Amino acid sequence: MAGPLGKKVNAPSSFAPEILFSISREQQRVGKHLIEQDGVDIWNIHELFWVDKKDCAHHEELSIHIPAQSPNTVESKSLKLFINSLIHKRFDHIDHVKKEIKFHLEGLLGSEISLQEIHKKVPANQHQVNISSESNLLSTMTGQIELRGFRGFRSLCPVTAQPDIAEIFIDGCIHDNDLDTVSSYLGSFFNRECFHELCIEYIFSDLLEAGFDINKVEGYFERRGGIAIIPIRYSQY
């Protein structure tokens, strides 16, 4: 059974946890040359509407934290439809809404998750991505550990071929002389079909293999349908 991504789907007319669709991480990663890594996928939910038992509407924001080692992740459109369907159920308190979300997602993902406040960007030295069809990624000099942000990153959704725009944050040692190389490498994703999470896993793995001392890579993808996906990857050791 295929998920709703890339298809015309009517908004649920009742509470619809069954619309949630899982994606196997193992199937996504099979055949990919990736260094072992850990991390978390943060889903910022900016349009969480729920209705209390007095029929008063509430608007909340929260983030869903899914471990990168969970057996499954969730398809983005199915999550949006599930979140939107919450308006068809009545709750006493926002804590009961969170409990409902947590219950259904943990069953789908096969892993514990946490619900937290909206995850925000942190200040970083800003750079631009250079669009490139190829890149010879190689660390030539050792730099100081600092957080660098690269704006203008783009990849394509493998299902819809629509562009996904992000700002990439790299925490590690990148010498100023290597910035153009890293920027061009990030630009090589411009017309590449790749899911958000795999983009960040490739970037983290490729930087390490190229000799860069990297602590963490974060991708702040622009939100769609009220949901922004922020994959974060770091070393398991």
Q: What pLDDT shows up at residue 36?
A: 84
Q: Which of 164, 171, 178, 206 is catalytic?
A: 164
- pTM of the predicted structure, to 2 decimals: 0.92
Active-site annotation holds for 176: no
- Dihedral of CA atoms 206, 209, 213, 218 in degrees, nearest 10, equals 20
Written out in words, the top-level CATH class of the domain with range 17-116 is alpha beta
pLDDT in tens, the chain (237 residues): 466 655 677 889 999 999 999 999 998 888 888 888 999 999 999 999 999 999 999 999 999 999 999 999 999 999 999 999 999 999 999 999 999 999 999 999 999 999 999 999 989 999 999 998 777 888 887 878 999 999 999 999 998 899 999 999 999 999 999 999 999 999 999 999 999 999 999 999 999 999 999 999 999 999 988 999 999 999 876
Active-site annotation holds for 171: no
Q: Which of 38, 52, 157, 178 is catalytic?
A: 157
In three-state form (DSSP H/G/I as H, E/B as E, the rest C), the secondary structure along the chain is: CCCCCCCCCCCCCCCCHHHCCEEEHHHHHCCCCCCCCEEEEEEEEEEEEEEECCCCEEEEEEEEEEECCCCEEECHHHHHHHHHHHHHCEECCHHHHHHHHHHHHHHHHCCCCEEECCCCCCCCEEEECCCCCCCCCCCCCCCCEEEEEEEEEEEECCCCCCEEEEEEEEEEECCHHHHHHHHHHHHCCCCCECCHHHHHHHHHHHHHHCCCEEEEEEEEECCECCEEEEEEEECCC
Q: What pLDDT shows up at residue 3?
A: 65
Provide the 10 A C-beta neighbour count for residue 226.
Answer: 15
Q: What pLDDT shows up at residue 2?
A: 62
Query: Contact, 169 vs 147, CB < 8 A?
Result: yes
51 Cβ contact list (under 8 Å, min separation 6): 57, 58, 87, 89, 90, 91
Q: What pLDDT shows up at residue 6?
A: 58
What residue spans in the chain does CATH classification 3.30.1130.10 cover? 17-116, 125-226
CATH number of 125-226: 3.30.1130.10
Q: Phi/psi at 182 (nearest 5 deg)?
A: -65, -40
Q: What pLDDT shows up at residue 7?
A: 65
- Per the rule left: phi > 0, alpha: psi between -120 and 50, beta: everything else, 76 is alpha
